[in-house]
Amino acid sequence: MRSFSDSYRDAGVNIEAGYEGVKLMSAHVKRTMIPGVVSDIGGFGGLFAPDFAGMKEPVLVSGTDGVGTKIRIAQLMDKHDTVGIDCVAMCVNDIICCGAKPLFFLDYIAIGKNEPEKVATLVSGVAEGCVQSGCALIGGETAEHPGMMAADDYDLAGFSVGIVDKAKVIDHNTMVPGDVIIALPSSGIHSNGFSLVRKVFDVEHADLSVYSDELGRTLGEALLEPTRIYVKPVLRCLEAANVKGISHITGGGFFENIPRCLPEGLTAKIDKGAIRTLPIFSMLQSKGNIPEHDMFNTYNMGVGMTVIVAKEDADRAITALDCGAYVIGEIVSGDERVTLC
């Protein structure tokens, strides 16, 4: 007997739509399969058998996050195939900061009305993020929330688990004055500060499809640009150089995120003139009349991640990163944590 419930459907939940969504997303999930995946989607839990070969003390590292109110831009543009990349990026970019390689990812979609095609499109973005970061999508959950969310509304979150040998966890205590700070370019605003973005650009009433000469594309395209995933470049860098610190520049910008890898008594001295700021940030600052400090305390300003290495390792690290990385500052003695000069 097939599974259905007319009573539940009358209450606003269509379980058959959920089954159809799983069927439609299966092809996307298959793209992410890597060695270690034991189970297929549809079970009560995702199974993964990690390879501990060559590790003396394997340590699991986990990270969880969501896309935030950037999702509203996707809803206004009716474009749902990229926010899944953001969801994965916000998790895997965090766990790579301690040197861990992501193994698998699970997502959670809460939606007002379960439209199988839309859910499958959302998952296609999640799968693409997993492919970019080399991890497997081994499960997830879609929850229909009638009466709590509008029919077209949804939210997307998830978490990732990675692994690192304890001896290879990045040791921040090796950092000394004279070490250099390398910037890994961002693709745009990524997934932070969108409450302010939406206010400044009045996105509920703006025409996001209008082409901007300053941006070289429409405002909507610039705002919806997916978060860049740094896993593979950083893994290459970890093999090539002695990395002393990594920071994912997310919410809180430079002032909150860079100090998270700095030992006491050291300051990150950033050369503002060296930063390759993207046009979207200049437009946002100008239109919103936002103070410079607030911009650097909210947004990545074109720097999605920083890597700290010894000065003599800088060229080797930049070559290994192979993503347009460049030096933006150095570590100095002091208690200010971050200075922009």
Position 29 confidence tier, pLDDT thresholds 50, 70, 90: confident
- Residue 95 in any domain: the answer is yes
Quick one: 177 and 286 in the same domain? yes
* HSE-up (13 A, CA, CB side) for residue 212: 16
pLDDT of residue 12: 61
CATH of the domain at 220: 3.90.650.10
- Residue 1 in any domain: the answer is no
DSSP tag of 149: B
- Tens of pLDDT, residue by residue over 62-116, are 999 999 999 999 999 999 999 999 999 999 999 999 999 999 999 999 999 999 8
pLDDT of residue 3: 55
- Residue 38 in any domain: the answer is yes
pLDDT of residue 18: 58
Q: Find the mean pLDDT for residues 277-290.
A: 97
In this structure, what token pair is assigned to residue 310? 């010894």
Instruction: Supply the range of the domain harboring residue 102.
Output: 6-166
- Residue 179 in any domain: the answer is yes
Q: Find the mean pLDDT for residues 303-332.
A: 98
CA distances from 198 to 25, 38, 71, 204, 223 (A): 30, 42, 11, 8, 10
CATH of the domain at 140: 3.30.1330.10
Quick one: 280 and 177 in the same domain? yes
2 pLDDT more than 60: no
pLDDT of residue 44: 78
- Tens of pLDDT, residue by residue over 166-194, are 999 999 999 999 999 999 999 999 999 99
Domain end point (choices 166, 188, 217): 166
Strand partners, 143: 110
Quick one: 62 and 153 in the same domain? yes
- Residue 222 in any domain: the answer is yes
288 pLDDT more than 60: yes
10 pLDDT more than 60: no
